[in-house]
Structure 1
Amino acid sequence: MRVCSPPTSQLSDSKPGNKINGHQLSRDRVGIDSHRQLGVQMNNSMHSVQHIHDHMAKYLQVPASCISRCSKNYVFEFLESINSVIHAEIMSEIRQSLFYTLIIDESTDISVSKILTIYFKFRDAASAVHKTVFGGIVKLTSCNAPAITTAVKDFYTLNQLDMMKMVMFTSDGASVTLGKNNGVAARLKQSIPHSVEQHCVAHREDLGIVDDWNKVPMIKEMETLLRTIYTIFCRSSVRKGQFEEIANVTECEAVPYSYPYYVIIWKKGSQKMNSMNGLLSILLHLHHSYEFGTENIEKLVNKYRQILVLGQARSSGQNIMNEMELIVSQYNDYKYLIVEKIETKSLKTFQDMVTFSSQNAERYSVVSQLVDICAMFQASSADCERGFSLMNNIKTKSRNGLKENHFDMLMRIKSHLSSGKEVNLDKI
């Protein structure tokens, strides 16, 4: 196997006296930290042990006996240490969150192994911002609904997660996951009656475009024309240059040679959430109706009663009003206060409303939880699609022998670093 040497930029970044996470590092400490980071960033952790040792030798004296005893397991231990810290932090945050959305999708990697990718959307207990994180990958024995359901439940048991906190299950539109009677969502709902299943809007839009595309004769002719143009110009650099010249003469932009007739735009969850901002304007037109939404609030409370924290509503409502009356009273106060803030432009987006709810959780104890559940919903499984792209970057043809455990660790560390976060070296 080919051994890849580390890039020069990675070798030059770690110098004696550098600061990582605000800590002044000694010469020995810098060498150790550089050792760890190289094992992750190079994406060749199993084949670059000697290069890492050569780099370590710049900062501290490595005994020859130590080098002779080191093998690929030496770097693997560094990965295990980094992964264990990141994994523990993520799972701890999910356990402490009140609710979350489960996002899954299945695929096949370069070695034709069936892989289930798992993501979670939740809100950290100490923050008002919802985030989507990589949970893990699971190797499937088969891609049918019973096997996927069993894999999901085993993942929950292994990581000690509470399945009852799941408020939404999001996946693509495959019948194996969202089948009405025997899909994964239907099987999970038997144990989690309040869970809501969501067909990814990007996949649904794709299916709708294809169906409509086939119904319009002129569109079919356009598709044939585009296919012909694509076939003529895509495989020849000379013809491609001629095509770009034609585009320049006609003052048109030359479209990249991707799929020629339709493109799916995988939007981030935050962009999807912004589409809910229109819901706020509805309140402006309905705030004159005092009873508007009362029945819906009662239905929501009854639906999520198993996971809502109603203790405060019960204790504060003793000898004054019953539980539901107190919740409805909270909702009415909350509704009119939100309308007032929208009119004064104190709140402009749905995220602003979510932040306001979390900041006033004591005053609106139950309503703030319902708003949190609404903000937890994930309309798209685009995070899983981006996870597949990351998976293909890690497990390539030259690295098709990666084991599931090592693959899962690299995916988690890469996802963690690509999101702009840092590894806590003190914990490692």
Structure 2
Amino acid sequence: MNKRKRDSSDENQKPAKNARSFNAKWLQLFAWLTFDSIRNAMFCTICQKHKKKNNFVYPGASNFRKSSLVDHASSNDHVQALKSDEAAKDNKLKTMVEKVYEKTDDAMTTLFRNAYYIAKENLPIDKYQSLNELSKMNGAPITSTMYQEDTACSEFIKIISSQIEQTVLQDVKDSPAFSIMIDESTDLSTQKHLILYLSYLKDAKLTITYSKLINLTACDSVAITSQLIAYLQANDVDLSKMYGMGSDGAAVMIGKHTGVSQLLKENSPYLIEMHCVAHRLALACVDLSKEIPEIKFVESIIKTVYTYFKRSPSNLSELRTWQTILDDPQLNPLDVHKVRWLSMGHALDNLRRSLVSIVHMVSDQGDSDIVASSMVHHMTSYKFLFLLHFLSDIFSKINILTEYLTDEPSFEPLLSQFILTTSEQDNFKGIDFSRSPRDATLPDKVVHLVSTLTDNIKDRFPDSKIFEAFTIFEPASFPVNISDLPNYGTSQMSTLTSHYTSFDEDSTLQEWSTIKYIIFNNFRHLSPAELLTEVTPMKEQFVNIVNLIEIASVLPVSSVECERGFSRQNLIKTKLRCKTSTDTLDQLMRIGLVGVPVKDFDPKPALRQWQSNRQRQVYQSNKQNAFS
């Protein structure tokens, strides 16, 4: 049995004839030792501190032998007290270090927030240092000088962007299905880029997010495909779950034999290529302007008016005066851009709403200005006024559709009001206009125009059996009467299982025969997106049907997000920042497009990653300063 080691100093000894006395040299040998000359006794400060029960605590040791001190130093009481004392010192030291690191974290957090603000607000990186100075003046915790140079800002932005990117890619990997939207562009420095957006499901809700700006070494389909696949595979994205590809419809993208979509099918066999519907609608309108001379006539006047005011600030200033006098809206004449989907409708609307002010102004200048005289001549003709209001009607409807696809506002129709107002007078809103015998043919011409536009849209939107089949999952498409439900969607389901051969047709049809009654009875009022949220919890029971609804949800109908991404690119890479590399441009775009608002940004995850990359000098320096 282990017995507690006895402290020899605890033993009561009879006083010797030659009594020993305390040796002051022992105080140097034993740091814990004290001597009370009044009580003529020795004490252990460590045992006293930790309230041990031995003679070195109470009443005091009087065996003045060095051996008694050595015995006490090795006694269990003293050893345990010493361990407790060291532990307390370690905890105190640890607490002090933690406080130093916490203060350093606060200082670095300010720097990371400032770097994020620079990227999010699209500010030049050389503003980083002055922003840090402002933070210091405002009393924010910040380092004295370390990590306040531009290179540190770039490093912080890179880490923050990387974390956002990895979060998006992880969400894509967790999604049961995803699609891509891609487009090519050339930046200010003539560098070719491929922009990539991802469409996927997160918590059963559709998410469309910017993913990557890829530097293109070549612009053929093989080069685009290889770089696209390399990026996705490098991030462990399962290409077999890629079900759709949206693009602008260029041959290099959706060519039947060697387009990017065809090459991607080697890794994603069920992929469906989709030509952006907003882009197709725009092309149908462009085709219309080529075929109908009346469109060209109105376009030429729009361009003349735009140029007249664009090139002369004095003309624009005078127009503002007329608009104020006549209580017209303060609108600028706009140009028509073939590559901008809403430009024709917006240009028509602005011209129509500012028409009275423009006509009055150019009429005043007509005698001395040939261009103004020509504008008055054309803009005060019945033909122009008729076509202006008719095309405003048509393009407002086109804009409503386009804006529905791109989430923008819309306008109202107007031609009937114009015809009613001018049926018995040659004056419209105070503008005297001239008529021509050929004006009588305008109604027939506009009928032809509408017919041509309809044909162009049909040509640009060929039937797709797969997309048509997916419409059975839209609750609004369900039959009104339950008696029509047994056969509803059966042929479309066969179309889907024929394309998606990984789905067993019999089991899928069996699931459909049950779940369509659940949808009919409970979810007919829901949108397709809301339906997905409701049926996702039923996935174990209806795995095939829910998977098909998930696939339908991520298929891209538009690549308009890519255009918005390139707009962000052009805001960042300007003439003053033309040397920005593709990697830096990608990082800034990601923070700008995907990053949370500045007030919601949490720097801690990025700060921890930055710390883990290597030992950071700022933490070591602050630790040394605290204990120096």
**TM-score range normalised by the length of the shorter chain:** 0.7 to 0.9
CA contact (8 A) 1:171 1:199 kept: yes
Q: Residue in 2 aligned with 1:411? A: 589
Q: Residue in 2 aligned with 1:229? A: 305
CA distance in 1, matches of 2:207, 2:172: 11
Q: How many residues align?
A: 377
Q: Residue in 1 aligned with 2:538? A: 360
CA contact (8 A) 2:225 2:260 kept: yes
Whichever residue aligns with residue 195 of structure 1, its letter is L
CA contact (8 A) 2:473 2:549 kept: no
SS for the counterpart of 1:337 is helix
Q: Residue in 2 aligned with 1:19? A: none
Superposition TM-score, scaled by structure 2 size: 0.55
- Once the 2 structures are TM-superposed, how far is the Cα of residue 116 of structure 1 from its aligned partner? 0.6
CA distance in 2, matches of 1:61, 1:208: 57
| Structure 2 residue 337 is the aligned partner of structure 1 residue 142 | no
How is 1:18-417 mapped onto 2 (pairs within 5 angstroms)? 29-43=105-119, 44=123, 46-55=125-134, 57=136, 58-60=139-141, 62-63=143-144, 66=146, 71-124=149-202, 127-244=203-320, 246=322, 253=329, 255-260=331-336, 262-263=344-345, 265=402, 279-285=474-480, 287=482, 288-306=484-502, 324-341=505-522, 347-417=525-595
- Once the 2 structures are TM-superposed, how far is the Cα of residue 338 of structure 1 from its aligned partner? 1.6
CA contact (8 A) 2:247 2:559 kept: yes
Structure 2: runs of 5+ lacking an equivalent: 1-101, 337-342, 346-398, 409-470, 607-628
Whichever residue aligns with residue 224 of structure 1, its letter is S
Superposition TM-score, scaled by structure 1 size: 0.79
User: What is the CA deviation profile of residues 107-164 of structure 1, one whole-angstrom value per residue up to 9, with x for unaligned ones?
Assistant: 011111101100001002xx12111111111110122212211211111122221111
CA distance in 1, matches of 2:536, 2:331: 45
Whichever residue aligns with residue 337 of structure 1, its letter is I
Whichever residue aligns with residue 513 of structure 2, its letter is N
CA distance in 1, matches of 2:316, 2:407: 37
- Once the 2 structures are TM-superposed, how far is the Cα of residue 305 of structure 1 from its aligned partner? 4.1
Whichever residue aligns with residue 140 of structure 2, its letter is Y
CA distance in 2, matches of 1:231, 1:278: 50
CA contact (8 A) 1:100 1:165 kept: yes
- Once the 2 structures are TM-superposed, how far is the Cα of residue 186 of structure 1 from its aligned partner? 1.8
- Once the 2 structures are TM-superposed, how far is the Cα of residue 221 of structure 1 from its aligned partner? 1.4
Name the structure, 1 or 2, with higher relative contact order (CA <8 Å, separation 6+).
1
CA distance in 2, matches of 1:368, 1:227: 52
Q: Residue in 2 aligned with 1:3? A: none
CA contact (8 A) 2:188 2:578 kept: yes
- Once the 2 structures are TM-superposed, how far is the Cα of residue 51 of structure 1 from its aligned partner? 2.1
SS for the counterpart of 2:584 is helix
From the CA coordinates, give the structure whose radius of gyration is larger. 2
| CA distance 1:141–1:238, change in 2 (3 Å) | same
- Once the 2 structures are TM-superposed, how far is the Cα of residue 304 of structure 1 from its aligned partner? 2.6
- Once the 2 structures are TM-superposed, how far is the Cα of residue 210 of structure 1 from its aligned partner? 0.9
CA distance in 2, matches of 1:427, 1:74: 17
- Once the 2 structures are TM-superposed, how far is the Cα of residue 33 of structure 1 from its aligned partner? 2.3
SS for the counterpart of 2:200 is strand
Whichever residue aligns with residue 507 of structure 2, its letter is L
Q: Residue in 1 aligned with 2:438? A: none
User: What is the CA deviation profile of residues 188-242 of structure 1, one whole-angstrom value per residue up to 9, with x for unaligned ones?
Assistant: 1233221100000111111100111222222221112212222212222332244
CA distance in 2, matches of 1:142, 1:73: 31
Whichever residue aligns with residue 533 of structure 2, its letter is T
Which of the pair is proportionally richer in helix?
A: 2
Structure 1: runs of 5+ lacking an equivalent: 1-25, 309-322
CA contact (8 A) 1:82 1:423 kept: no
CA distance in 2, matches of 1:105, 1:226: 30
- Once the 2 structures are TM-superposed, how far is the Cα of residue 373 of structure 1 from its aligned partner? 0.9
User: What is the CA deviation profile of residues 351-380 of structure 1, one whole-angstrom value per residue up to 9, with x for unaligned ones?
Assistant: 221222213223322111111111111111
Whichever residue aligns with residue 205 of structure 1, its letter is L
Whichever residue aligns with residue 177 of structure 2, its letter is F
CA distance in 2, matches of 1:394, 1:244: 32
CA distance in 2, matches of 1:420, 1:171: 32
| CA distance 1:30–1:61, change in 2 (3 Å) | closer
CA contact (8 A) 1:45 1:76 kept: no
SS for the counterpart of 1:427 is helix
- Once the 2 structures are TM-superposed, how far is the Cα of residue 30 of structure 1 from its aligned partner? 4.6
SS for the counterpart of 2:126 is coil
User: What is the CA deviation profile of residues 6-55 of structure 1, one whole-angstrom value per residue up to 9, with x for unaligned ones?
Assistant: xxxxxxxxxxxxxxxxxxxx876554323112213224464234324424
Alignment identity in percent?
24
| CA distance 1:361–1:234, change in 2 (3 Å) | same
Whichever residue aligns with residue 294 of structure 1, its letter is T
- Once the 2 structures are TM-superposed, how far is the Cα of residue 425 of structure 1 from its aligned partner? 2.9
| CA distance 1:54–1:244, change in 2 (3 Å) | closer
CA distance in 2, matches of 1:221, 1:63: 67
| CA distance 1:280–1:250, change in 2 (3 Å) | farther
- Once the 2 structures are TM-superposed, how far is the Cα of residue 245 of structure 1 from its aligned partner? 5.1
Whichever residue aligns with residue 283 of structure 1, its letter is F
CA distance in 2, matches of 1:420, 1:199: 35
| CA distance 1:40–1:419, change in 2 (3 Å) | closer
